[in-house]
Structure 1
């Protein structure tokens, strides 16, 4: 173990839209799909939350 092992940046597991998928294994593809599904769920939850805030604001000014 080297003294400088902690200085290396951690490997990024994010997915970049449009990136080359041909070099990824089935497990890596599955991991990216799971990551993207989690992000979609997070985005949808935020959309619902903002929609509720907007509805509340609109009803206040009616």
Structure 2
């Protein structure tokens, strides 16, 4: 199994954030948190798009790999 195909651990930071209680946060703290999360989402989307462009360039150069287990 390739390194990037391994399942993500259940206890990653995104899972921890999703399960954290928000009851103790003030309105201002929640606004700050939303801003930080929106910035992180934008960063992840930019990285995803860059990785996809890199993959498309590699596929264009080397050809698209055939599906595994196709028997051909």
Measure how far apart 1:61 and its partner are.
1.4
TM-score, normalised by the number of residues in structure 1:
0.72
Measure how far apart 1:31 and its partner are.
0.4
TM-score, normalised by the number of residues in structure 2:
0.62
Q: What CA deviation, in whole Å up to 9, does each residue of 1:23-62 have, x standing for no partner?
A: 1100000000000000000000000100000000000113
Dislocated runs of 4+, deviation >2 Å: none
Partner of 2:50: 49
Matches of 1:30 and 1:47 in 2, distance apart?
26
Count, aligned residues? 48
Name which structure has the greater RCO, CA cutoff 8 Å, separation 6+.
1
Measure how far apart 1:18 and its partner are.
1.3
Measured on the aligned residues, the alpha-carbon RMSD in Å equals 1.4
SS in structure 2 opposite 1:16? Answer: helix
Q: Where does structure 1 lack aligned partners over 5 or more consecutive residues?
A: 1-14
